[in-house]
Chains A and B, each alone.
Chain A
Amino acid sequence: MPIVYTKKTEMPCGDPAVRRTNWDEVALGYSEERAIAEARRCIQCQEPLCEQGCPVNIPIRDFIRRVAQSDFEGAARIIRSKNILPAICGRVCPVEDQCEELCVVLGKQEPVAIGRLERFVADWERRAGAHEAAKPPKRGAKKVAVIGSGPAGLTVASDLAQLGYSVTIFEALHAIGGVLRYGIPEFRLPKAIVDEDMERLKGRGVEFQANVVVGKTITIDQLMDEMGYEAVFVGTGAGSPKFMGVPGENHKGIYSANEFLTRVNLMRANAFPDYDTPVRRPKRAVIIGAGDTAMDAVRTAIRLGADEAHIVYRRSEQQMTARAEDYSRAKEEGAIFDWLTLPTRFTGDDQGWVTTMECLRMELGEPDDSGRRRPVPISGSEFTMDIDLAVIALGTNPNPLIPQTTRGLEINDHGCVVADSETGRTSREGVFAGGDIVTGAATVILAMGAGRVAATAIHEYLERKAADRKRTPSGDKRRRHRKTAG
């Protein structure tokens, strides 16, 4: 007899007063008891709608049933059949807009905490060491290059390696993981978890080459024409930071969110001088923007010792794009929110350090293209804020290196690679793309979903190519290709 709960089983978190002084993970995860209690809230629908909301099609109902039965190993196996990075997704997926949004109990009560359960299972598996040491599949003769080691690239690589392709991931930075490494902070996604998942992928036979900037070190043309790669997946992310273009934006102490977070997350500037990369230690910080990245940045500024850390956003609270969970955690940690505020200018001292941000108050007018009411300046509402650090978190544009250096790759007006959403196919034969380089800045799980789709399409493409080759007299007749269902 199911007990009717009205809310999700709570997940314990660190004390805000303590956690704002350290980099430890904030959300502590479910105990076995809590996980089982939460799993029992699931009514095990005949047709689980939640699964339609998952870009990588995790059999959600079935894994939750295993958790409710205390069969955590079974639950892990089910998740792993579809998701190679569950410990990561269980932490960073915007579940409230995906699986949980479709949960049928929603409305009558809070949805089942699918994300927290996924995390629980993945963490249980890690702690128990239950994950069977994957025996690397034989690296086949066909080579596929994956560009970028973020969520999209990792998924493509993992899927194709399982199918027996020789997959090499090329990463521009010295560490693999893409945004999981440089973008998402330790207190939200411990890097030890990223490390473990990367090791597991190596175990699956995926080869990684760090420090290779495709478009510079090698081009896609060279990968295909000279180095024998039969297909290429472009998953380079939305790399290039947007600035506001207001006067004084280049004062010292003003960072893009990418730079601020990369210094801390990838380069460990929070541990300077033990680590060599420095970052400004703020007293009064402002973060401009109110998305997930802005929440990460404001919480990072707090941990770097800011007495005051503000989120400054030209729209209102209702229009912010950050996840509710991250928003409330930032609030608990003392972040101050200045809604309907537009920065117009920065000024600095004689050393060039930023000291002041001039702003305008806004009010909401008619809806704009995004359907959100357009913020309009209130005349005469000018005011200034004293600051010593500003972080611009207004999003990114696609990195131009690959578009600039690849023949025949169609790019849209936003600089994104044009790719079919069903297949990831681009205008260039054999080149597929997915993730933020196609969609503009989005989420980890959407990138993984795009990777899954592209992996299937790449497999089909290579099978078809091999079949065509077999039909032509010049083809290698000794080779036998088994046609597999895509």
Chain B
Amino acid sequence: MARIIEKRHLTPVTKLFVVEAPLVARNAAPGQFVIVRVSESGERVPISITDFSRQAGTITIVVQVVGKTSGMICAMEEGDEILDFAGPLGRPAPLPEKGHVVLVGGGFGAGAIYPLARELQQRGVRVSAIVGARNKELLILRELLESASDDYHICTDDGSIGHKGFVTERLQDLLSANAGFTHCFAIGPMPMMRALAEATKPSGLTTFVSLDPIMVDGTGMCGSCRVTVDGELKFACVDGPFFDAHKVNFDEAVVRSKMYVDEERLASELATAAR
């Protein structure tokens, strides 16, 4: 059990939770995730760690309502206990010791890139951050990420704040302007990461994406999260979540991520009807 000690409403559909989980926080590193289950009949879902404090013994997660389980998590309040909270899982992001890193976050990823930014800043690595949201209302954690990056770029689909357009377009602009990036790390929806991989490929910019395929145990036991990287079979839970974006078989990853769309829809509808 892990107690929620703080809940923040980032947008109508996106909530931030600070969770008391000292054992998870103890070894947590940027880029890792937790597996969460919120009811006895519930599923196990992976969630990126958005922040952690070893001193306070806390893990921060950001959850956006997309289906039944995320809806249940977002309905939880301060003082509630999360039934199962296991982690930190996955390998830490392979962050460089020097250079100039561009971090790209879309949707919930705009929060999940924060621990990478913080760690890079501590290492003295220059950080540019590009975050994307559909509109101004859905943009999250602006101040937090702004404070941990040397420059910060916002992109929205409707131009209600920042640049109008996709994060990839903004990245292209910066690349064309010879921004001097040495590495790129991206966390966000699969189509965004795929587009990003294509955008950085011509320049050969070293690019890592954080894949979040469907998982069950999250400890390398089931192979549900298998992805093909450079023609090789990898398990995102123990070999990832970060992989060389230019070597990921995105066609396969996208197809596999839709394995249970019908069941997810049904579960969501039943949950809504029950409310």
Does A252 count as interface, using CB distance less than 8 angstroms?
yes
A263–B259 Cα gap in the complex (Å)? 14
Does A33 count as interface, using CB distance less than 8 angstroms?
no
A241–B221 Cα gap in the complex (Å)? 6
Q: Nearest CB to that of A215 among chain B residues?
A: B219
List A residues 271-290 near B (Cβ within 8 Å). Answer: 271-278
Evaluate contact between B23 and A352: CB separation under 8 angstroms. no
Does B267 count as interface, using CB distance less than 8 angstroms?
yes
Evaluate contact between A275 and B41: CB separation under 8 angstroms. yes
Contact of B220 among A240, A245, A252, A276 (CB under 8 A): A240
* Contact flags A244-271 to B (C-beta < 8 A → 1, else 0): 0100001011011011001100011001
* Contact flags B245-267 to A (C-beta < 8 A → 1, else 0): 00000001001101110011011
Evaluate contact between A267 and B220: CB separation under 8 angstroms. no
CB-CB < 8 A to A275: which residues of B?
41-43
List B residues 39-82 near A (Cβ within 8 Å). Answer: 39, 41-44, 68-69
Evaluate contact between A217 and B221: CB separation under 8 angstroms. no
Evaluate contact between A399 and B226: CB separation under 8 angstroms. no
Evaluate contact between A268 and B41: CB separation under 8 angstroms. yes
A255–B214 Cα gap in the complex (Å)? 12
Evaluate contact between B219 and A401: CB separation under 8 angstroms. yes
Does A321 count as interface, using CB distance less than 8 angstroms?
no
Interface segment, one of A61-69, A189-197, A205-213: A205-213
Evaluate contact between B85 and A211: CB separation under 8 angstroms. yes
Does A219 count as interface, using CB distance less than 8 angstroms?
yes
* Contact flags B72-107 to A (C-beta < 8 A → 1, else 0): 000000000001111111000000000000000000
CB-CB < 8 A to B68: which residues of A?
276
Evaluate contact between B221 and A262: CB separation under 8 angstroms. yes
CB-CB < 8 A to B43: which residues of A?
267, 275-277
Q: Nearest CB to that of A256 among chain B residues?
A: B223
Evaluate contact between B216 and A252: CB separation under 8 angstroms. no
Does A142 count as interface, using CB distance less than 8 angstroms?
no
B100 smallest CB distance to A (angstroms): 31
CB-CB < 8 A to A164: which residues of B?
none
A172 and B238 in contact, given A212-B23, A241-B223 (Cβ under 8 angstroms) = no
CB-CB < 8 A to A268: which residues of B?
41
Does A27 count as interface, using CB distance less than 8 angstroms?
no
A272–B23 Cα gap in the complex (Å)? 32
Evaluate contact between A272 and B222: CB separation under 8 angstroms. no
Does A377 count as interface, using CB distance less than 8 angstroms?
no
A255–B84 Cα gap in the complex (Å)? 25
Evaluate contact between B69 and A252: CB separation under 8 angstroms. no
A259–B215 Cα gap in the complex (Å)? 9
Does B233 count as interface, using CB distance less than 8 angstroms?
yes
Evaluate contact between A399 and B270: CB separation under 8 angstroms. no
CB-CB < 8 A to B224: which residues of A?
255, 259
Does B147 count as interface, using CB distance less than 8 angstroms?
no
A212–B218 Cα gap in the complex (Å)? 12
Does A218 count as interface, using CB distance less than 8 angstroms?
yes
Contact of B233 among A219, A245, A258, A352 (CB under 8 A): A245
A250–B26 Cα gap in the complex (Å)? 35
Interface size class on chain B is: 35 or more
A352–B253 Cα gap in the complex (Å)? 11
Does A305 count as interface, using CB distance less than 8 angstroms?
no
Does B182 count as interface, using CB distance less than 8 angstroms?
no
A217 and B223 in contact, given A243-B233, A276-B42 (Cβ under 8 angstroms) = no
Does A477 count as interface, using CB distance less than 8 angstroms?
no
Contact of A174 among B86, B220, B223, B264 (CB under 8 A): B86
Contact of A210 among B24, B84, B233, B238 (CB under 8 A): B84
A337–B252 Cα gap in the complex (Å)? 31
CB-CB < 8 A to A259: which residues of B?
216, 222-224
Q: Is the interface of A mostly helix, strand, loop or mixed?
A: loop
List B residues 177-225 near A (Cβ within 8 Å). Answer: 216-224
CB-CB < 8 A to B121: which residues of A?
none
Contact of B267 among A173, A218, A273 (CB under 8 A): A273
* Contact flags A139-169 to B (C-beta < 8 A → 1, else 0): 0000000000000000000000000000000
B86 smallest CB distance to A (angstroms): 4
A211 and B219 in contact, given A276-B43, A400-B238 (Cβ under 8 angstroms) = no
Does A216 count as interface, using CB distance less than 8 angstroms?
yes
A267–B41 Cα gap in the complex (Å)? 8
Q: Nearest CB to that of B239 among chain A residues?
A: A400
Does A239 count as interface, using CB distance less than 8 angstroms?
yes
Evaluate contact between A174 and B84: CB separation under 8 angstroms. yes
List A residues 360-417 near B (Cβ within 8 Å). Answer: 399-401
CB-CB < 8 A to B27: which residues of A?
216-219, 222
A255–B266 Cα gap in the complex (Å)? 22
Evaluate contact between A172 and B252: CB separation under 8 angstroms. no
A221–B84 Cα gap in the complex (Å)? 25
Evaluate contact between A213 and B89: CB separation under 8 angstroms. yes
A211 and B84 in contact, given A219-B27, A273-B267 (Cβ under 8 angstroms) = yes
A216–B224 Cα gap in the complex (Å)? 19
A26 smallest CB distance to B (angstroms): 25
Evaluate contact between B266 and A399: CB separation under 8 angstroms. no
| Most B Cβ at <10 Å: residue of A182, A241, A243 | A241
Q: Nearest CB to that of B222 among chain A residues?
A: A259
CB-CB < 8 A to B83: which residues of A?
174
Closest 9 CB pairs of A and B: A352-B255, A259-B222, A278-B263, A211-B86, A276-B43, A174-B84, A256-B223, A277-B43, A239-B221
The residues of B with any CB-CB pair to A shorter than 8 Å are 23-24, 26-27, 37, 39, 41-44, 68-69, 83-89, 216-224, 226, 228, 233, 235, 238, 252, 255-256, 258-260, 263-264, 266-267, 270
A to B CB contacts below 8 Å, 13 in the list: A216-B219, A217-B26, A240-B220, A240-B221, A252-B259, A256-B222, A258-B222, A267-B44, A267-B216, A277-B44, A278-B267, A399-B219, A399-B221
